[in-house]
Amino acid sequence: MKVLVTGGAGFIGSNLVRALLERGDDVRVLDNFSTGLRTNIDGLDVEVVEGELRSYERVHNAVRGTEVVFHLGALGSVPRSVQDPLTSGAVNVEGTLNVMLAARDEGIRRAVFASSSSIYGNQPELPLQETMAPDPISPYGVAKLAAERYCVSFSRVYHSFETVVLRYFNVFGPRQDPNSQYAAVVPLFITAIAAGEPVTIFDDGEQSRDFTYVDNVVAANLLAADAEGASGRIFNVSAGASVTVNRLAETIGRLLDQPVERRFLPPRPGDLRDSWADVGEARRMLGFEPRVELEEGLRRTAAFLLEGKEQ
């Protein structure tokens, strides 16, 4: 099958690209390499189209001739969106609309869109379910929600075009850049604890997250590309469990056999207090099962970051 992965040089995208190649797909990548790394796809048998999601012409050229589009390209990070909501909105909303339009115009069978748990905001009840009314706090969450609605709308009004939305929860794993200005907490904690440096925790550390190993997310994408009855639907993709940021740091310290020193800073604007997903719908409709649990995922991620070994 010929597929396109937007953002295919990014952290999650490059892991998906490898899985697609392993099952024998013909893979094309669209990336502007603003946050994705060329080293993530070096040596892989993929066709690379370099370009911006905000260019319909470039996106259309990348989509042409494919059967399924995995749209992972985005400008991520809640803090970045707070600093620059205009660019965040342009890439994440206009870019997604370009991908959906190009896919529709080219007669693509299905597009799978990577959304975010940030669309929920702070809900009064946990775990988070897809039927809850979204209440995003950050500009990033607002943009992802708008992009979701475009995807669902296209599946309803263009009946030959199928879309599936996956809401990711705090994904971590190999190829996640610990050196980015907006690096995620897991690679930051691993590299800091391994170096004997304090970890920075915003708020009191008792906020909780549903940390999800990247292989689980990749598996959900592969399932979503073919699942019957999934078009126009939205699914949580997570580990289906929550852990506090303090407990995360302690677990990493234990795995690395290193003491953990914490430095606490005030909460950041736009951050959620607690996040925990119900993945029942993904199990029922996609056959999804989060097979790699938190500790195993942390062990694999640490081996990659510290030793360069994939497991």
| CATH for 121 | 3.40.50.720
In a domain, 58, yes or no: yes
In a domain, 244, yes or no: no
pLDDT for the residue 15: 97
pLDDT for the residue 308: 74
Q: Residue 193 CB: number of other CB atoms within 10 A?
A: 24
Give the count of domains, the chain.
1
In a domain, 310, yes or no: no
pLDDT for the residue 311: 58
For residue 140, indicate whether it is catalytic: yes
Q: In whole numbers, what is the pLDDT of the chain averaged over residues?
A: 94
pLDDT greater than 70 at residue 181: no
Beta bridge partners of 209: 243
CA distance linking residue 240 with residue 225, whole number of Å: 21
In a domain, 183, yes or no: no
Considering the candidates 56, 120, 140, 213, report the single residue annotated as catalytic: 140
Range scoring the smallest mean pLDDT among 5-14, 201-210, 213-222, 268-277 = 268-277
Q: Which DSSP category does 93 fall into?
A: I
88 near 53, Cβ under 8 Å? Answer: no
**What is the average per-residue pLDDT within 265-284?**
91
In a domain, 30, yes or no: yes
- CA distance between the termini of the chain: 27
- Residue-wise pLDDT for 86-95, tens only, equals 999 999 999 9
Q: How confident is the model at residue 176 (pLDDT cuts 50, 70, 90)?
A: very high
Enter the pTM of the model: 0.95
In a domain, 187, yes or no: no
Q: Residue 2 CB: number of other CB atoms within 10 A?
A: 12
**What is the average per-residue pLDDT within 117-137?**
95
Residue 158 has, within 13 A of its CA and on its CB side, a CA count of: 20
Helices (H), the chain: 11-22, 56-63, 78-83, 85-89, 95-105, 139-157, 185-194, 214-224, 245-256, 280-286, 294-307
CA distance linking residue 264 with residue 146, whole number of Å: 33
Q: How confident is the model at residue 247 (pLDDT cuts 50, 70, 90)?
A: very high
Backbone angles phi and psi of 184, in degrees to 5: -75, 165
pLDDT greater than 80 at residue 310: no
In a domain, 255, yes or no: no
- Residue-wise pLDDT for 24-46, tens only, equals 999 999 999 999 999 999 999 99
Residue 203 has, within 13 A of its CA and on its CB side, a CA count of: 15
In a domain, 122, yes or no: yes
User: Which domain covers residue 140, as residue numbers?
Assistant: 2-171+212-239+276-290
Name the percent of the chain lying above pLDDT 90.
Answer: 89
